[in-house]
Amino acid sequence: MVSVHGDHAADGGLVRAGAKAAQAELLPLKILVAGGFGVGKTTLVGALSEIPPLSTEQEMTSLSEGIDDTSAVPDKTTTTVAMDFGRVTVDDALVLYLFGTPGQSRFWFMWDELARGAVGAVILVDLRRIDECFAAVDYFENRGVPFVVALNDFPGTEGVDDDAVRDALAVPPGCPLVHVDARDGTSCTAALISLVEHALAEAA
């Protein structure tokens, strides 16, 4: 877990974004972390949250066989069945509340409720299973919710051309595309910086 207090990247990006958004009163911002099954949403929330993250991870059972494809993540034994929750305090004026969505399509009915009031979303992508993130891109684009596409650097995904990924996902012009390691709080913070600045630009 990581707090952005004292973090240089946060001071250079999130604090500036918070200063633009609120001068005196505390401004809580709701941010979604979305994407397909097993892309690292729970890991990202845990890497960023300054509090012990709330997780609804449950053991996967034989009932998921043939439904959840674990071939790319053979060590995965649990799955999120409701949401993940974490908090990041930027400064006295800005607090980010992170909500991780469930990845399996059978739980997508919860996305509408989780997305209510969100200022934006970080869409995590596993480039080994790029087709599984199309639904998330379409979801937020159709609802006019600002988002960034965060490519989670799984082994074997090095050297992929960003422009090719942008074209494959039909990412709108101006939508940030960033690389992250969901286990690393610094790179995840950079993704939040991009999202907050993008959301503020969209609002302006």
Considering the domain boundaries, does residue 150 fall inside one? yes
53 or 141: whose pLDDT is higher? Answer: 141
Strands 94-100 and 27-35: parallel
Range of the domain at 165: 25-203
| Cα separation, 133 vs 103, whole angstroms | 10
Domains held by the chain: number: 1
Cα(first)–Cα(last) distance of the chain, in Å?
32
For residue range 56-79, what is the model confidence (pLDDT) as tens digits?
555 544 444 445 455 554 454 455
* Domain assignment present for 143: yes
User: Which CATH number characterizes residue 79's domain?
Assistant: 3.40.50.300
User: What's the pLDDT at 107?
Assistant: 60
Give the tokens for residue 157: 């995904």
pLDDT at 113 over 60: yes
Q: What number is the average pLDDT over the span 137-146? A: 93
Residue matched to tokens 């996902």: 169
- Domain presence at residue 136: yes
Whether 128 is covered by a domain: the verdict is yes
pLDDT at 172: 87
User: How many helices (H) and strands (E) would you count in the chain?
Assistant: 7, 7
Q: Is the pLDDT of residue 8 over 60?
A: no
Residues ≥6 apart with Cβ < 8 Å to 203: none
Asked if residues 59 and 78 have their Cβ atoms less than 8 Å apart, the reply is yes
Task: Choose the weakest-confidence range: 23-27, 47-51, 187-191.
Answer: 23-27
Q: Which of 44-58, 98-112, 181-195 has maximum average pLDDT?
A: 181-195
Question: What is the distance between the alpha carbons of residues 14 and 151, in angstroms, rounded to a whole number?
Answer: 20
3-state secondary structure 160-171: CCHHHHHHHHCC
pTM of the predicted structure, to 2 decimals: 0.74
Cα atoms found within 13 Å of the Cα of residue 18, Cβ hemisphere only: 24
Residue 93 in domain? yes
Identify the helix (H) or strand (E) that includes residue 102.
none
pLDDT (0 to 100) of residue 110: 76
153 located within any domain: yes
**6 domain residue, yes or no:** no
Tell me if 139 is assigned to some domain: yes
Of 1-10, 80-89, 93-102, the one with minimum mean pLDDT is: 1-10
